[in-house]
Structure 1
Amino acid sequence: MKHLLLTALLCWLATAGAAWAEETRIGMSDVIRAVEEPFQANAPKDLAIRDFEADFFQESRIVSLDRVQNGRGRVLVKFDHNRGDRVPKALFRWDYDQPTTQEIVSDGETVWVYLPDNNQVIQSEIELAAQSRPDDPVTFLTGLGNLSRDFQIGWAEPNRDLDGNFILELSPRRASPMIQRLLLVVNREAVAPSGRPASFGDIFPLLSSTVFDPSGNSTIIEFSAPRVNRGIPDSTFRFILPAGVEVIRPSNEGGF
């Protein structure tokens, strides 16, 4: 019996040691690659994330009002990898259940924000929405393939959470009134060390994001129960205007 226990212990130590040695070979470039590559138009087929669905929790802190607002719901995103661009076009739907019912839907060209309590729909072109509110969950996930181009990226402090997931800190390369810095928590299971091919197309790499603006306000979005590459139909991202709803179209200067 003692020999069996000793053998089991030695096997466990060998396995743990190998896992630790592999993780020590992981560098920041490996973590960045894990986030960017699945969302790029030229991603390998076994790595590309074509669509995903997840539950989310959102917490926004407004410093000047000393107020915290929470939100919950479900997000669905589909990427069009058939375009020649480096980053594919994104179709998305955010369905909020809390604090109030709200739908944010885009077919990749237009964004609709439906506020049932107000009997209103805010309609904007996706480019206008992205330029005016780059920190908004409406547009956040559409830029994951371009992180290195848009941000200076370094390790956060600390650079791991309690579960061993990696934490990156990003600063915009151009001054932004919306984003001072951005924290990304990257799923350690989605990261492969340099020299080993990555083939994690069934793992969603992003666990959470936290945006800090120059005024000290912050918005954190945590993803849970992700489902990847399930073949979400395009019809999911077509918004059907309810009868009698007021449509608001912001001007280019007014923002989203």
Structure 2
Amino acid sequence: MNALKTMLQAASLASAASLVFMPVAWADAKQDLQDRLAPISTLQADFVQQVIDPQGELVQELQGELALARPNKFFWQSDAPDELVLIADGTSLYYYDPFVEQVTINDQQASSAQSPFLLLLDGEANAWADYQVSAEANSYQLSPVAGAASQQRLQISFADDQLNALVLDDGQGQLTRIELSNVVINTALPASTFKFEVPAGSAVDDQRGAVE
């Protein structure tokens, strides 16, 4: 149930170990990926997420919808009975678990430093400085440089120049695979999409004050 929270706040992000990359020059691959992401101002999609444990067993499968508005807004909601909500409003990152009626709030900038996943939202060069990028065909792997704040990795895949898949690894052998469908880009999204109001009766764990 906590796979999404872990993925975005602390999880490693990587390609499956069985995939072999023949990297082009890192600088060229990074620029190529940034060029592919640059035309995207908004994106909406349905998703299917599978979590695979180190033994190769499927331990969780979720489906739902997501939306993003670059440079810094994100919405993610999985369907019942495993409903989870994640919203980044440009300042704070809200994670809501209706099952336990708890909201966790983190500083978005600090969370971005810990997860290359959120580079999908950010086109600024300094946000990418901690990662090198290798590429083959329509897949890109982001890996941290030496001394980076995070050791997380991310694989981004495209089909027909459209973002369609992510593969993630928590660094301990657990993989999270995310497949996108019904992708729509660059349509206006209501501002309310990226606003979160704490549901009545929910416990709140506000971690923003803990950021140094």
TM-score (ref. length: structure 2): 0.72
Which region of structure 1 is more displaced relative to structure 2, 139-148 or 166-175? 139-148
Which region of structure 1 is more displaced relative to structure 2, 209-218 or 140-149? 140-149
Instruction: Identify unmatched segments of 5+ residues in structure 2.
Output: 1-23
Q: CA 1:90–1:38 in structure 2 vs 1: closer, same or farther (change >3 Å)?
A: farther
Q: State the Cα distance separating 1:58 from its structure 2 match.
A: 1.4
1:223 equivalent in alignment to 2:180: yes
> Do the aligned residues in 2 keep the contact of 1:70 with 1:98 (CA within 8 Å)?
no
Q: State the Cα distance separating 1:211 from its structure 2 match.
A: 2.2
Distance 1:244 1:141 in 2: 33
Q: State the Cα distance separating 1:253 from its structure 2 match.
A: 6.2
Larger helix fraction of residues: 1
* CA offsets 1:108-151 (integer angstroms, 9 cap, x no match): 1011111111011111111232234x16x6x3532466586332
> Do the aligned residues in 1 keep the contact of 2:66 with 2:75 (CA within 8 Å)?
yes
Equivalent residue, structure 2, for 1:121: 103
1:130 equivalent in alignment to 2:101: no
Q: Percent identity?
A: 24
Q: CA 1:34–1:218 in structure 2 vs 1: closer, same or farther (change >3 Å)?
A: same
Equivalent residue, structure 1, for 2:17: none
Distance 1:177 1:232 in 2: 31
Distance 2:77 2:201 in 1: 21
Q: State the Cα distance separating 1:92 from its structure 2 match.
A: 1.0
Distance 2:58 2:131 in 1: 29
TM-score (ref. length: structure 1): 0.61
SS at match of 2:198: coil
SS at match of 1:243: coil
Match of 1:141 among 120, 123, 127: 120
Q: CA 1:244–1:148 in structure 2 vs 1: closer, same or farther (change >3 Å)?
A: closer
**Aligned AA for 2:130?**
D
Q: CA 1:253–1:214 in structure 2 vs 1: closer, same or farther (change >3 Å)?
A: farther
Count of residues paired in the alignment: 186
Q: CA 1:150–1:75 in structure 2 vs 1: closer, same or farther (change >3 Å)?
A: same
SS at match of 2:67: strand
Distance 2:51 2:44 in 1: 22
**Aligned AA for 1:153?**
V
Q: State the Cα distance separating 1:91 from its structure 2 match.
A: 1.0
Counterparts in 2 of 1:68-87, with a 5 A limit? Answer: 68-79=59-70
**Aligned AA for 2:64?**
G
SS at match of 1:128: helix
> Do the aligned residues in 2 keep the contact of 1:177 with 1:213 (CA within 8 Å)?
no
1:207 equivalent in alignment to 2:164: yes
1:151 equivalent in alignment to 2:126: no
Q: State the Cα distance separating 1:97 from its structure 2 match.
A: 0.9
Q: State the Cα distance separating 1:168 from its structure 2 match.
A: 2.5
**Aligned AA for 2:121?**
T
* CA offsets 1:170-215 (integer angstroms, 9 cap, x no match): 3211356652x4322123x32xxxxxxxxxxxxxx32112123432
> Do the aligned residues in 2 keep the contact of 1:169 with 1:184 (CA within 8 Å)?
yes
> Do the aligned residues in 2 keep the contact of 1:35 with 1:186 (CA within 8 Å)?
no
Rg larger in structure: 1
Q: CA RMSD in A?
A: 3.2
Equivalent residue, structure 2, for 1:173: 145
SS at match of 1:49: coil
> Do the aligned residues in 1 keep the contact of 2:43 with 2:185 (CA within 8 Å)?
yes
